[in-house]
């Protein structure tokens, strides 16, 4: 059985999906972001590694995305699909699950 | 592991999202707002800290938002994503969860 | 902690929302409205105190509302958000939850 | 506390809503309508007392309704909002809950 | 209390609704239709007695229906509203619940 | 009571519905199709016996279907309505429940 | 009873469906893809064997797909319909359930 070997740089999201490298997090940083442990939707921080061409319109064109490679973003922790690649955590999600760009 | 340090002024909401600083609240103020403890949707008061470009249309344009930075707003308490930043409470939510501007 | 003080006249509903002063009600009035206690949706009477600009369209325009300030309206009792302001009851709801104008 | 007094002739339904005077019914009429007691949606007979301007379109225009004041209609018994006014039964519902006109 | 007397010929369905006279059925006919007793949606046979003007479009026009008075149709047994009129069974349903015309 | 006699050739599906003769199946065929017994949606094989005119558009035109009479198709086993006609199994379903054409 | 014999090369997906040959997987590959066993949506790797013409538009045209035959793709493990053909695993799913192309 052949092993499935996938390189991070070859991941091309489809449609309005975004491929994000999950940032290491601490529960609380000095003067930084604190993500409270509540029953509400939890945000997570990551860096955009690849973006899809956008939402496909009926005429075959694409509505471009707002985020681009390199953007630091806040996204919903429970959205999308987790992927581990070479020891790092990634997530594939729709742009609508990205809450904000941060820097 | 690098700490995630995010500055309030760098948060740029996506789409129709709004970044709101939660106002300190009292249960009842003299002649002011009283938010009754019922089974119904609860409103909360906050000040708009940043706004997204608006809802993205199919042609790539944006439908602008009604609220702007500095507006005091009433929003649904159970909507959006809570974020604590430097000891203050913030919330990221869609403009449709904002009920009214107040002043 | 600063108290949140909000004046009724400063409440500006967003989108297609309407700000309504709840009318005092009696179970049955002589020749007047009787709201039966059934399992079905219950109507309530109120007076429009402020209206939003209307539903926002994709091009940034608004579809104007049918009701205006001063209209007496029947609305669904379980819709919207209750707010008490200076001892009076108000409700913030979408125009689609208003059933009829009465006078 | 002021009593809420509403006159039937002043009820103006909003949007595509219709104000209907519920007809007195018998379980079975000679050669007439019989509404079987099944688990399925039950029809009821009434007379249109007032109609809204129609469904509001994005450009502010209205799509006119099919029914008009005086029409006898069959509607779904479980739809809409019951209102008793001066001893008579009325119902406020969307035109889509009207099944047919009868005469 | 006045009896509600409705004549079959006066029933005018609204919108995309169809008024159907339910055909008498046998469990199995020689070389004919057999409707198996399964957990799946059950078809029933009937004859179209009256049709609505079609689905109402935003500009007030109607999208005409595919079936016409006199058509024999297969429809979903659990759809619509049953009505008994002068000893016969009728059903009022949306055209989308009609599966096929048969003859 | 008159028996309902329906001939296969007279079944005319409405809208985007397709009338399919269910193919006899074996659990596994040599080098052929095997439909595993899992919790997921199960495909079934059949031959198209009749097709509707297509999905009705607002202007009264139809969007034509992709399949035609005689096509062998894979469809979702749990979709649509089963009909037995003269000892053979048929199914009436929407074209969207057809997964693929095969030959 | 005639056996159903289907050849892989004859499968033509309808609409926006994609026919995918499931890739053999290992729990973890050296420097490769690791699909963690969490409660979240699980991705799976496969190779596109056939594609449909695209989503059908109202005017009968098709919105073409983004993937093509031969593409290696990540898709949601719980989406679509499993089919075993000649000892190999295939899946038929909508393009929207494909997360990304990889190589």
Q: Model confidence over A53-81: pLDDT tens digits? A: 999 888 888 999 999 999 999 998 778 88
Inspect the interface and report whether the beta carbons of D56 and C38 lie closer than 8 Å: no
> pLDDT per residue over E76-101, tens digit each?
877 888 888 877 889 999 999 999 99
B35 neighbourhood in chain C, CB within 8 Å: 83-84
CATH of span G13-23+41-102: 2.30.33.40
**Closest residue, chain F, to E62 (C-alpha):** F58
Q: How far is B34 from chain C (nearest CA, A)?
A: 5
Q: Within chain D, which residues score under 50 in pLDDT?
A: 1-3, 26-31, 35-41
Q: Answer whether residue B39 shows pLDDT above 70.
A: no
pLDDT of residue A33: 55
Query: Can you tell me the mean pLDDT for G86-91?
Result: 86
Of E16-25, E37-46, F22-31, G66-75, least confident by mean pLDDT is F22-31
Local structure of E60: helix, strand or coil: coil
Regarding chains A and F, contact by 3 or more CB pairs under 8 A is answered as: no
Across the interface, which of B4, B57, B78 has its CB nearest the CB of A23? B4
CA-CA distance, G96 to G14, in Å (whole number)?
14
Q: Answer whether residue A87 shows pLDDT above 90.
A: no
Inspect the interface and report whether the beta carbons of C31 and D86 lie closer than 8 Å: yes
Residue D1: burial class (beta carbons within 10 Å; 0-12, 13-18, 19+): exposed
Q: Grade residue G28 by pLDDT with cuts at 50, 70 and 90.
A: very low
**Top-confidence residue, D90 or C86:** D90
Inspect the interface and report whether the beta carbons of B25 and C11 lie closer than 8 Å: no
Q: Are the C-beta atoms of residues G12 and F72 closer than 8 Å to each other?
A: no
Q: Give CATH superfamily name and number for A13-24+41-102.
A: GroES chaperonin (2.30.33.40)
Alpha helix ranges (H) inside A22-100: none
Q: How far is D48 from chain E (nearest CA, A)?
A: 14
Q: Does E42 touch chain F (CB under 8 A)?
A: yes
- Range list of β-strands (E), B1-103: 12-13, 17-22, 33-34, 43-51, 55-56, 62-63, 72-76, 81-85, 88-94, 98-102
Inspect the interface and report whether the beta carbons of B82 and A36 lie closer than 8 Å: yes
**Top-confidence residue, A41 or C75:** C75
pLDDT of residue F86: 74
> pLDDT per residue over F25-72, tens digit each?
544 444 455 555 443 445 789 999 999 999 988 888 899 999 999 999
| Mean of per-residue pLDDT scores for chain E | 81
pLDDT of residue E29: 43
Inspect the interface and report whether the beta carbons of E78 and D25 lie closer than 8 Å: no
Reference G89, options G101, G77, G71; nearest CA is: G77
pLDDT of residue A65: 94
Query: Can you tell me the mean pLDDT for A46-58?
Result: 93
CA-CA distance, B67 to B94, in Å (whole number)?
11
pLDDT of residue G33: 55
Q: Are the C-beta atoms of residues E65 and E54 closer than 8 Å to each other?
A: yes
Q: How far is G68 from chain F (nearest CA, A)?
A: 16
Q: Answer whether residue E34 shows pLDDT above 70.
A: no
Q: Does C15 touch chain D (CB under 8 A)?
A: no
G5 neighbourhood in chain F, CB within 8 Å: 29-33
Q: Grade residue A91 by pLDDT with cuts at 50, 70 and 90.
A: very high
Q: Grade residue C78 by pLDDT with cuts at 50, 70 and 90.
A: confident
**Top-confidence residue, C4 or F59:** F59
Q: How far is A10 from chain B (nearest CA, A)?
A: 26
Across the interface, which of F23, F25, F34 has its CB nearest the CB of G85? F34
Q: Which CATH architecture has domain E15-23+41-102?
A: Roll (2.30)
* Residue whose entry in the numeric block shows the structure tokens 């957990």: E39
Q: What is the DSSP letter of F10?
A: G
Q: Are the C-beta atoms of residues C27 and D76 closer than 8 Å to each other?
A: no
CB neighbours of A12 closer than 8 A, spacing ≥ 6?
A50, A52, G100, G101, G102
Q: How far is F8 from chain G (nearest CA, A)?
A: 21
Q: DSSP assignment of G41-66, as one string? A: PPEEEEEEEEE-S-EEPTTS-EE--S
Look up residue B25 and give its two tokens. Answer: 């609240």
Q: Where are the domains of chain E?
A: 15-23+41-102
pLDDT of residue D21: 95
pLDDT of residue B9: 87
% of chain E exceeding 90 in pLDDT: 49
Across the interface, which of E29, E40, E100 has its CB nearest the CB of F4? E29
pLDDT of residue C79: 84
D55 neighbourhood in chain E, CB within 8 Å: 58
**Closest residue, chain A, to B93 (C-alpha):** A99
Q: Answer whether residue G44 shows pLDDT above 90.
A: no
- Mutation target to probe the E interface, by most E beta carbons within 10 A, among D99, D101, D103 is D99
* Residue whose entry in the numeric block shows the structure tokens 């507006």: B71
Inspect the interface and report whether the beta carbons of F10 and E103 lie closer than 8 Å: yes
CA-CA distance, E36 to G4, in Å (whole number)?
24
Of E63-67, F6-10, F37-41, the range with the highest mean pLDDT is: E63-67
Q: Grade residue G11 by pLDDT with cuts at 50, 70 and 90.
A: very high
pLDDT of residue F22: 93
Q: What is the DSSP letter of D86?
A: T
C86 neighbourhood in chain B, CB within 8 Å: 31-32
pLDDT of residue C74: 93
| Mean of per-residue pLDDT scores for chain B | 81
Of A56-70, C77-91, F35-49, G52-66, least confident by mean pLDDT is F35-49
Q: Answer whether residue C53 shows pLDDT above 70.
A: yes
Inspect the interface and report whether the beta carbons of D11 and C74 lie closer than 8 Å: yes
Q: DSSP assignment of E37-56, as one string? A: -SSSPPEEEEEEEEE-S-EE
G63 neighbourhood in chain F, CB within 8 Å: none
Sheet with B12-13, edge to edge strand ranges: B12-13, A98-102, A72-76, A43-51, A17-22, A88-94, A81-85, G33-34
**Top-confidence residue, B38 or A18:** A18
- Mutation target to probe the G interface, by most G beta carbons within 10 A, among F56, F100, F101, F102 is F100
Q: Grade residue F20 by pLDDT with cuts at 50, 70 and 90.
A: very high
Reference F52, options F98, F101, F102, F95; nearest CA is: F95
Q: Grade residue C25 by pLDDT with cuts at 50, 70 and 90.
A: low
Q: Grade residue F4 by pLDDT with cuts at 50, 70 and 90.
A: low
pLDDT of residue F82: 85
CB neighbours of A62 closer than 8 A, spacing ≥ 6?
A53, A54, A55, A56
pLDDT of residue C42: 57
Q: Answer whether residue B29 shows pLDDT above 50.
A: no
Q: Does E88 touch chain F (CB under 8 A)?
A: no
F96 neighbourhood in chain G, CB within 8 Å: 15
pLDDT of residue B38: 45
Q: How far is A7 from chain G (nearest CA, A)?
A: 7
Inspect the interface and report whether the beta carbons of F84 and E57 lie closer than 8 Å: no
% of chain F exceeding 70 in pLDDT: 77
Q: Answer whether residue F6 shows pLDDT above 60.
A: yes
Q: For strand F17-22 and strand D72-76, is the pairing parallel, antiparallel, or unpaired?
A: unpaired
Across the interface, which of C29, C36, C57 has its CB nearest the CB of D4? C29
CA-CA distance, D12 to F82, in Å (whole number)?
48
Q: Answer whether residue G74 shows pLDDT above 90.
A: yes
Inspect the interface and report whether the beta carbons of A102 and B12 lie closer than 8 Å: yes
Q: Grade residue C26 by pLDDT with cuts at 50, 70 and 90.
A: very low
CB neighbours of D15 closer than 8 A, spacing ≥ 6?
C66, C96, D52, D53, D54, D55, D56, D94
Q: How far is B11 from chain A (nearest CA, A)?
A: 5
Q: Grade residue F7 by pLDDT with cuts at 50, 70 and 90.
A: confident
Q: Does E74 touch chain F (CB under 8 A)?
A: yes
Q: Answer whether residue F76 shows pLDDT above 50.
A: yes
Quote the ipTM score.
Answer: 0.77
**Top-confidence residue, A77 or A40:** A77
Regarding chains G and A, contact by 3 or more CB pairs under 8 A is answered as: yes
Inspect the interface and report whether the beta carbons of E30 and F3 lie closer than 8 Å: yes
Q: Answer whether residue E72 shows pLDDT above 90.
A: yes
Inspect the interface and report whether the beta carbons of C4 and B38 lie closer than 8 Å: no
pLDDT of residue B53: 95
% of chain G exceeding 90 in pLDDT: 49
C91 neighbourhood in chain B, CB within 8 Å: none
CB neighbours of B39 closer than 8 A, spacing ≥ 6?
none
Look up residue E45 and give its two tokens. Answer: 């046979």
Backbone angles phi, psi at A65, to 5 degrees: -80, 160
């Amino acid at each position: 059985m052949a092993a499935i070997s996938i390189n991070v740089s070859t991941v091309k999201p489809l449609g309005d999906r975004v491929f994000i490298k999950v940032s290491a997090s601490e529960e609380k940083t000095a003067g930084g972001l604190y993500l409270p442990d509540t029953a509400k939707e939890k945000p997570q921080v990551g860096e955009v590694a690849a973006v899809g061409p956008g939402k496909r319109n009926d005429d075959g064109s694409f509505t471009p995305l707002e985020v681009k490679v390199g953007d630091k973003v806040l996204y919903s922790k429970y959205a999308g699909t987790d992927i581990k690649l070479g020891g790092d955590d990634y997530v594939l999600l729709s742009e609508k699950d990205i809450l904000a760009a941060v820097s």
